[in-house]
Amino acid sequence: MARIRATRNERSKEEEAREILKGALAREPSHRLNLAESIRRHIEPLGGVDLTLPSRQPVRRPPKLAK
């Protein structure tokens, strides 16, 4: 793909690669939502979800593996 693009733009493949990288780095980063925000955006219009979290239990002792 880069070879064809380089030929079309009358550049070497290396020059074309540099131009592709410059273009990618010059763009503003897109605002991406994290997974929780994405789920919330889909669920909120439906009324949301109320979750009951179970109470935390004390940490168990690790098993003894040595004989």
Other CB atoms within a 10 A radius of the CB of residue 16 amount to 20
pLDDT of residue 22: 92
Question: In the chain, where are the structural domains located?
Answer: 1-27
The per-residue pLDDT for 19 is: 92
Give the pLDDT score at 15: 93
- One digit per residue, pLDDT tens: the chain, 67 residues? 778 888 999 999 999 999 999 998 888 777 777 898 888 888 888 887 788 888 998 999 989 998 7
Kindly give, in sequence order, each residue whose CB lies less than 8 Å from that of residue 20, ignoring residues fewer than 6 positions away. 2, 5
